Amino acid sequence: MANATDRPSPSPSSVNQDPPPNTCARKPGGWRAVKYILGNESFEKLASMSLVGNLTMYLQSKYHIGGVFVVNIVNIWSGSSNIASLAGAFISDTYFGRFRTLLYGSIASLLGMGTMTLTAGIPQLRPPTCTVPTDCPQPKAGQFACLFAGLGLLAIGAGGIRPCNIGFGADQFDTKTAKGRAQLQSFFNWWYFSFTVALVIALTIVVYIQTNVSWVLGFAIPTACFVVSITVFLVGCHTYIRVKPQGSVFSDMARVITAALRKRRLGVGPESQFYDPPLIPSDQSHEKKKLKRTNRFKFFDKAAIITDPSELHSQENKPKNGWRLCSVQQVEELKCFIAIFPVWVSGVLCFIPMDQHNTFGVLQALQMDRSIGSNFKIPPAWLNLITMISLSIWIFTYEGIYIPLSRKLSKKEKRLSMQQRIKTGMIMSILCMIVSGVVEKFRRNSALKHNNGSFVSPISVMFLSPQLVFSGLTEAFASVSIMEFFTMRMPESMRTVAGAIFFLSLSITSYTSALIVNIIHTATKNNEKPWLGGRDLNKNRLEYYYFTIAALGTVNLLYFIFFASKYVDLENSISCNSRNLSKSDSVDEEKGLERLGSN
């Protein structure tokens, strides 16, 4: 790692100036900086999840939107929030850097949450109160516009925050050392743990206020949390390692693909001359590291083949046309991106069950007995606490008990492999959907059997607990591991991209879930009992939908076991990280990469 005096200045006014030498100053980075980043993340998640956890309830109770329509709004907004991460990653890498992108994203989220507070506080911005449940007034175009403006600003803010907070936190550790890599692995778990604590607060106190006291106050609290989040982030600015933006890898990837297609008729052999210049001094910062050429995905090596000396400027030794000749560094960065794609596909399908509990899970809870005593009803969003608590218990047990105990007994950390954790998460996701289907069938049969003029089933809402526990364990095993996989397998210069790819997978998950919902609704709506649709789940067969997702999860597990898992085996790929390996390690890993690329 470079010395503190060699790194970009932590001054808020500039990310491109070096601080004056100060031998007495503490080095930036490490856990000292991460505590501010985790604090910012915790308050940001507390604010955003106060809305996410109760958005379905808000739209149904205040905007009179129900059935498939409300599920589509929540899924599409969630997907858009995550897909905006790609734009955030591009802006961060090309123009602003991670620090400023995080700051601007937080401000956009603050404005979005403020707009949502206005929709709750100003009656003209939402439909009139529903007096006849079967004939509720629907929102007007202007009211929809205000609602979607608030959600849009929140999506823009998420696009700036989500791809950068993981990468910005990872920047604070020196991954060239064993200690730094171990700290980084712990950072992923504690990152999840810290905002999970915030979610517990959001889904108890804030959601209770929204549901039982006032939506205005319930939205004003998250707005205040965004203010605190921004304040904490700025207070810690003097402790951060801030890497200068070095250009987006997305444009480099487009150049490599274009150049390779232009030279598709060329062969790649020992006689090929590759354009592999050394990195210029300004690039050799905390982040940019030289990548070695590998023999996997050889087609893209054609982009770096020099076919004619005239392709280079004679004095500067740079390509005259960057869309015809690319460097080996650019080619290898694309290869790293391609190598994570099989696991990315597995992640998309694995995350679908986690999406169900903010939509259909809430609708199930609304048609179950939520009473505790005679005067209190459990808010549906509180059920997400079970997911968060199960996730937190596992992370705390693993990091706080299992790892220290293994270190004490064997003098060496014994962590579960990444492949083991991902497989376990996939199994949990399948069990989650199977249990969800069984519970829904029991709930509907009970409601129909004890029909007393109400569509609410007499069974307790706590019967949803097992499926929520499995959902939390899916996130604890699969989500944390896949996020870690993306970050560790990508070069350090592509950490923002790794964060964007993780949230892109969540985005595609939401869109895929919405697509499956609409396909099943269209295919079954003319049945005597359609699987989905309408405000009354008792008239549907929601359990068939859950069993369908479980079947898709089983296919996904087999796909991972027999194909995608081999892309996880080489966790320390020398092509995609910059740490110094011993000569024997380098040879062994290079051979492994050649076998992988030939498949």
For residue 407, the domain's CATH number is 1.20.1250.20
Question: Mean pLDDT across the stretch 110-130?
Answer: 89
The pLDDT score that the predictor gives to residue 22 is 45
| Domain count along the chain | 2
Residue 67 has pLDDT above 80, yes or no: no
> Domain boundary residue among 337, 371, 389?
337
Q: Are residues 215 and 261 in the same domain?
A: no
Q: Please give the residue range of the domain that contains residue 300.
A: 249-337
Evaluate whether residue 206 is within a structural domain.
yes
8 Å CB contact between 382 and 204: yes
The pLDDT score that the predictor gives to residue 447 is 85
The pLDDT score that the predictor gives to residue 470 is 93
Name which of 263, 255, 335, 265 is nearest 306 in CA terms: 263
Q: Are residues 289 and 218 in the same domain?
A: no
Alpha-carbon distances of 103 from 37, 94, 164, rounded to whole Å: 11, 16, 10
Evaluate whether residue 483 is within a structural domain.
yes
8 Å CB contact between 446 and 367: no
Evaluate whether residue 333 is within a structural domain.
yes
Question: Mean pLDDT across the stretch 521-538?
Answer: 81
The pLDDT score that the predictor gives to residue 569 is 63
197 HSE (CA, 13 A, CB side): 13
Do strands 371-372 and 376-377 pair parallel, antiparallel, or not at all (unpaired)? Answer: antiparallel
8 Å CB contact between 113 and 223: yes
Could you tell me which residue, 580 or 474, shows the higher pLDDT? 474
Q: Are residues 330 and 449 in the same domain?
A: no
pLDDT band at 114 (very low <50, low <70, confident <90, very high): very high
Evaluate whether residue 2 is within a structural domain.
no
The pTM for the full model equals 0.69
Q: Are residues 323 and 459 in the same domain?
A: no
Q: Are residues 271 and 241 in the same domain?
A: no
Could you tell me which residue, 24 or 258, shows the higher pLDDT? 258
Residue 20 has pLDDT above 60, yes or no: no
Residue 587 has pLDDT above 90, yes or no: no
Q: Are residues 382 and 489 in the same domain?
A: yes
Q: Are residues 230 and 369 in the same domain?
A: yes
Q: Are residues 489 and 400 in the same domain?
A: yes
Question: Mean pLDDT across the stretch 143-167?
Answer: 87
Rounded Cα distance between 17 and 6, Å, is 10
Express as a percent the part of the chain with pLDDT over 70.
84
The pLDDT score that the predictor gives to residue 175 is 65
Q: Are residues 93 and 157 in the same domain?
A: yes
Residue 384 has pLDDT above 50, yes or no: yes
Mean pLDDT over each residue of the chain, to the nearest integer: 79
pLDDT band at 434 (very low <50, low <70, confident <90, very high): very high
Q: Are residues 394 and 296 in the same domain?
A: no
373: left (phi over 0), alpha (psi -120 to 50) or beta: left
Could you tell me which residue, 578 or 467, shows the higher pLDDT? 467
Q: Are residues 111 and 77 in the same domain?
A: yes
Alpha-carbon distances of 73 from 144, 497, 598, rounded to whole Å: 11, 27, 43
Structure tokens at 287: 């982040």
Question: Mean pLDDT across the stretch 338-357?
Answer: 88
Name which of 172, 120, 148, 160 is nearest 1 in CA terms: 172
pLDDT digits (tens, 9 = 90+) for 262-276: 998 888 888 788 888
Q: Are residues 142 and 184 in the same domain?
A: yes
The residues, ordered by sequence, that sit 6+ positions from 392 with a Cβ below 8 Å of its Cβ are 193, 196, 197, 200
Segment of 22-31, 197-206, 518-527 carrying the highest mean pLDDT: 518-527
pLDDT band at 433 (very low <50, low <70, confident <90, very high): very high
